[in-house]
Chain A
Amino acid sequence: MGLDYKLVLWNKHKKTYDKTIALGMLTYLLVFFILSFLTNPELTAETVIIRAFGSLAILMLHIILAIGPLSRLNPQFLPILYNRRHLGVSMFLAAFIHGGISIFQFHALGNTNPIYAIFTSNMEYGSLINFPFQVLGFLALLILFLMASTSHDFFLKNLSPRIWKGLHMLVYLAYALVLMHVFLGAFQQETSPFTTTFLILGFVTISGLHLVAAFKESKVDGLKSSVDDSGWLEVCNVNEIANNRAKIFTVGAERVAIFKYDGKLSAIHNVCKHQGGPLGEGKVVDGCITCPWHGYQYLPHNGQSPPPFTEKVITYELRLSNGIIYINPNGFSEGTEVKPLIC
């Protein structure tokens, strides 16, 4: 939860994740350098650096793109989401070093502006095999820069979650550009079955994970329930919800999380105000519903973040009849207090 854009939950786990990222990157680079100098001693240091950071950035991009759908398919991956933004910024740094050294190596030694030279040194835009692949990498780098520079909560707050999320969905375009950059560039010059297979398998895995997760989501969205005479929707038996946990239920096009805690039931909108995390996949910690993504918290009975925080979500009215929970599909305004249902 943030106030003045400072992370409150900067706990030892987050520090561990950051250290793991740094250690992983350093280990990869070290192994890459050693293997390159052992197997290709004729390569120049610049070439090895460009390849090492480029391949590292691609590997990290695959990991980043897998975290989202994996978390949707298996909640055990949710803790990794805590640090996805840090992983994204680290990936951008690797891509920036790759792009920066490449531009210097191939375009900065002439009398033409290096950025202009990227777009004009090869004008075979009509050819697939001889396409100016550096342009694709440069455009991907611009997108990654835009994302890394707006990753802080300051921009999330000021741009609004909707615009921010839309902006950060450009990562998919960046991924497509990176794939084309590699297939039309490196692979045309130096064909390696290992790297080509790795990237094809990577694409199949990432797109497969996203599609499986998306169809799973749409199946949940499509679930319909019976409506009683007063227009309330039947949810489930009260025993189906574990203590301090929730059941997610679709109301119209949106989802509601119905939490059971301390012998009570409360329902709030499932979407966290921070980054749209699924509140219903979190749990009640210290009396607060805690978002599984970044730890934003809300009070179950009014959907408000505890003071001094100001986030609020929509609340819903519940009814219990013969052990069956019913929900009024008409939500109240954000932060409206609703008396918890005793169960």
Chain B
Amino acid sequence: MAFFVAEFDKEQIMIAGQRKAHQRIWLSMGLVLPIFLFFATKDLDFLVEAEDVGHPDQFVAKMLENRTLYLKLNIPLQNPSAVVYAVDSEGNPGKILGQLFGVGEYQFILPLDASGISVVDELKNEKIYTATF
């Protein structure tokens, strides 16, 4: 019966190492993730109805100089399509200004006769957002 030499050492390192790795991974996750979860949830408003959450803050629209419209989309849209229209004083859609592709900041030049914008989901034929100036 030959005594075991090299492979046994290798095996010892592997298995004992795995046990230690598991312990370290969960200790790290147990410390780091709660901090992250705290910051991710501290500003959530659980008292607001789901449908209302986010919508007031979803868009930020303001007029800059030279009839430049600044539009910021803060929260991703659930609509597959978001086309930005210029609207007249009666709210009728006019010229297409562009499309929204995701969260971010956009700038559009408003026509002289436009008094606002409307973001429309063309696929669902649904008005997502309107703003007048």
Contacts and interface: CB of A to CB of B under 8 A. Distances in A.
Contacts of B103: 121-122, 124, 130, 132
B98 interface: no
Interface string B27-54: 1011001101101110111101010011
B92 to A, nearest CB: 26
A162 interface: yes
A161 B76 CA distance: 43
A196 B44 contact: yes
Given A176-B33, A190-B54, A314 B1 contact: no
A330 interface: yes
A47 B124 CA distance: 14
Given A124-B103, A196-B41, A254 B16 contact: yes
A239 interface: no
Interface residues of B, number: 48
A22 interface: no
Contact of A191 (B27, B29, B50): B50
Contact of B3 (A129, A193, A332): A332
Interface string B49-72: 010011000000000000000000
Contact of B29 (A169, A176, A193, A314): A176
A189 B13 CA distance: 47
B4 A334 contact: yes
A255 B50 CA distance: 53
Given A276-B18, A332-B2, 15 more contacts: A109-B80, A109-B81, A123-B104, A183-B36, A207-B26, A207-B29, A207-B30, A217-B19, A221-B16, A253-B16, A255-B15, A269-B11, A314-B8, A334-B4, A334-B7
